[in-house]
Amino acid sequence: MGKLIRGGGEIVVTDSVSGEEITAHILTQVIMGQEKRGQGIFSHGLLMELIKARLDTLAAVKLLLQSPADWEGWLSSIDIPTRQDVEKLSIEIDNLSRAINVVGQKEKESGGE
C-alpha cells in the first residue's frame, strides 16, 4: 500500500462489514509499520508530544500537513488575515497614501498649509 501511495496512487479503505470509511486508520498503520522497521520520520519525543497534545494542537499539526490552499481557508475561518488579505490591505494603504499626497500637494499649491 505504501508503494502504491508513494507512486501517486489514491486509496480509500472501507470496512467490509460496517461499510465505514477507515482510510485514515489504515494509513496510520502503514506509517507506524514504517516506524517499526526504522524507516519512519517520527521521533519518540514527537510521538509522545502528539499523544499529550490538546486537540487544538493536533489541529495545528494537521494544518501543517495540508496544502497551502487549505491553510488560507483555515486561517480565514478563525479570522486571521491571509496573505491575500494582507496584499489587498497593502494596496489600499498605497492608494490612500497617494490620495493624501495629492491633497497635500493641492494645499501647498493653493498656499494653505
Segment 60-83, tens digit of pLDDT = 666 666 666 666 666 667 777 777
Question: In the chain, what percentage of residues exceed pLDDT 70?
Answer: 65
Residue-level pLDDT at 8: 85
What's the pLDDT score for residue 14?
Answer: 93
54: DSSP letter: -
Provide the pLDDT for residue 5.
Answer: 79
**pLDDT above 60 for 113:** no
Q: In terms of residue numbers, what domain contains 28?
A: 1-41
Instruction: Report the Cα 79 to chain-centroid distance in Å.
Output: 14
CB neighbours of 14 closer than 8 A, spacing ≥ 6? 20, 21, 22
Average pLDDT, integer, range 48-59: 69
| Domain match, 57 and 26 both | no
The predicted-structure confidence for 9-44, as pLDDT tens digits, reads as follows 888 999 999 999 998 888 888 777 766 666 666 667
Closest to 75 measured CA to CA, from 85, 87, 65, 88: 85
**Distance between CA 46 and CA 52 in Å, rounded?**
10
Reduced to 3 states, what is the DSSP secondary structure of residue 9? coil
Instruction: Establish if 46 belongs to a structural domain.
Output: no
User: How many domains is the chain partitioned into structurally?
Assistant: 3
Residue 7 and residue 32 in one domain? yes
Domain match, 2 and 30 both: yes
Nearest to 78 by CA among 56, 61, 58, 53: 56
DSSP type of residue 40: -
Measured distance CA(102)–CA(109) in Å, rounded: 11
- 10 plus 37 within the same structural domain: yes
83-104 pLDDT, tens digit each: 778 889 899 999 999 999 899 8
Q: 86 and 76: one domain? A: no
pTM over cut 0.85: no
